[in-house]
Chains A and B, each alone.
Chain A
């Protein structure tokens, strides 16, 4: 029962993440890579992403706080961030990155990085919950 409930929970959470556009097809690619040799692949990757991107975000904020703003470097960071987030299927985060990058290209860094951070944080929370549920479901199974 618990197992089923958990599984259902996992399924519905997952569906909503996709439906709401937080995740895209690339996430499915990750899921498909998970196998016996890497049973927790998705979780590992998400964790790796968040750890690595934290550093990147720091760099970005630092760049934003410096004056004058080095837009070239900023664009570089954003490019990296975008590549990273897209590789795990973080759809909204990636979109925000693209939007912010456009601002940067116009040398106008106002406003948008917060949005990036926001989406990033939201997704993080959601994924944490989701993955935790997944783990629970697999454990009970």
Chain B
């Protein structure tokens, strides 16, 4: 709630003044709907002028744009500067529906679509994409006079959601969530609950008072926030993602359940829509990409551990982690977008649960490794913004990559899911860390990537896709990720997400190449590598360590653990050059496998689980990594520069492929974990 500082109402002059542009008419609550701030987008100049004039005559405050990109820019620059958007459907630079999705996910504003086309399917498209109304051109002023109702309605609904979600969902939620909560939010829960309660109360009061005005502060769903959201959702599992839990996981001060609830609705719509996209292509164009998507969810859990650790340590760009997570999660939750995991630098392992599946011994290792492994867990606060950015991007990319890889690797059905998952991982990651990582704390880890994604949605797919494809092809040989999840990953979204990450890092490309050669053996995680690369893992050792851990704990056959191990090893291995999964690189695949499996089995809170997994054996998800093989790996060696991403990717892919039978998936045998220096 951006406005919150000033006051709840955007209408109140005091608080809203900051959001008004100079010279703007400040809406006065009493005169509502006068002063409603409308953004109208239409490429036809004649229509645009007419609309502007009509809206002015309705006493609205009008801003016009003739391009969708410009409109998005304006909206992003001034997040609380508009109350409603009216957009044409056919525009040269961006499809009106895409714009609609972006706005819905990023800014949560009501959007009205317009078109001279009154065909039923177009109108239906508007509905499914979440438009709150659809006007047929030529638009009459009478139609515009009442658009304020959409603003009021939306606020009212959000408010109601908040209320309802708390009571209803609490009861409905399954145990799993509580599990997640256990380790991820147990620490926070108490605090969160109490603070949330307060927040809710405040919000409710405010909302009640002002439903008729525009007072309710609108939460701006920034990329970061959205990524957190996605991570949380992924972690919980899209089916079980209750606003309350999501909010808890996100742990963002000032965010209310209501906000989350309405955002969740949108997100679900979005995912649903995406799942309708043909699964076969990791369509980068998926709208999935909303940075705020929760697609990251599941992955993080599985891979989260590793990823998080990696990211935490800065080795794995947060983004990568997110992406990986997303990929991992993809299985379970297609939705999670890549919530940028606020990965703390802490090693994944370091956080409380270093209960790596590996076993006690590993724990220690983990701990050791943890330091470095800050995988996504939280984008280390200390990380420089740049790093974070790269992390984010990478995470996203990774997620994306994973998704793609996963999708390719897996059956088409899985593809989607994997993709989606990938997107989510970021979110997951955060969740995983939650105990350790203050997700909420404005660490906008992901946003960059995501944002990038969003804006380049159109172009994003390309980027992401590429890596994904690479991965896919390569992975098949080594990693057979049994991507079983059928989660409906919105492929598009995922890809979108990843793109930004990818695109952001030029190094990625380079990395990519490196990996390509390397990964060949391992399953082409290239994309992931790239992502990670950006990140620059500094502590490669960490990776290796993790790998080592994984390896060491061969006994863990628990799926989760195995998975985790793998992930770690995978991560560790990232450095492996040219597909040596055997050596250090090997670990990567293993890890990823672990990650995947972990992710798979436990959808909700995969992110969290990942961590847990590492620590606790969660049989369900994790891929059974044959730890024996892992043992070979030398943790320290494992982390080579590349490692993070590749490994993660591999892990992710594996998971996605269905971690279930670990043996199948991973084929550790193939790896020579032995090499992994532990």
Contacts and interface: CB of A to CB of B under 8 A. Distances in A.
- Tell me, yes or no, whether A binds B: yes
B533 to A, nearest CB: 41
A52 B141 CA distance: 23
Contacts of A84: 44, 46-47
A33 interface: yes
B54 interface: yes
B116 A82 contact: yes
A30 B54 CA distance: 9
Contacts, number: 63
Max count, chain A CB within 10 A of own CB: residue among B49, B138, B140: B138
Contacts of B117: 79
Given A29-B140, A32-B141, A80-B90, A88 B46 contact: yes
B50 interface: yes
Nearest to A50: B46
A22 to B, nearest CB: 15
A87 interface: yes
B197 interface: no
B283 to A, nearest CB: 21
A94 B353 CA distance: 68
A57 to B, nearest CB: 14
Contacts of A30: 50
B78 interface: no
A72 interface: no
B564 to A, nearest CB: 51
Interface string B40-68: 00011111011001100100000000000
Contacts of B137: 83, 86-87
B47 A83 contact: yes
A38 interface: yes
B448 to A, nearest CB: 34
Contacts of B49: 44-45, 48
Contacts of A88: 46, 50, 138
Contacts of B90: 76, 79-80, 83
A35 B54 CA distance: 11
A45 B116 contact: no
A83 B141 CA distance: 16
Given A33-B50, A41-B53, A86 B138 contact: yes
Contacts of A53: 46
B578 to A, nearest CB: 46
A33 B47 contact: no
B469 to A, nearest CB: 28
Contact of B138 (A26, A48, A80): A26
Contacts of B115: 83
Contacts of A76: 90
A31 to B, nearest CB: 12
B46 A49 contact: yes
Given A26-B138, A88-B50, 12 more contacts: A25-B140, A29-B50, A45-B46, A48-B49, A76-B90, A79-B90, A83-B47, A86-B116, A87-B137, A87-B138, A87-B139, A89-B138
5 contacts: A38-B53, A76-B90, A80-B43, A83-B116, A87-B47
Cβ-closest 6 pairs across A and B: A83-B116, A87-B138, A26-B138, A86-B138, A49-B46, A87-B47
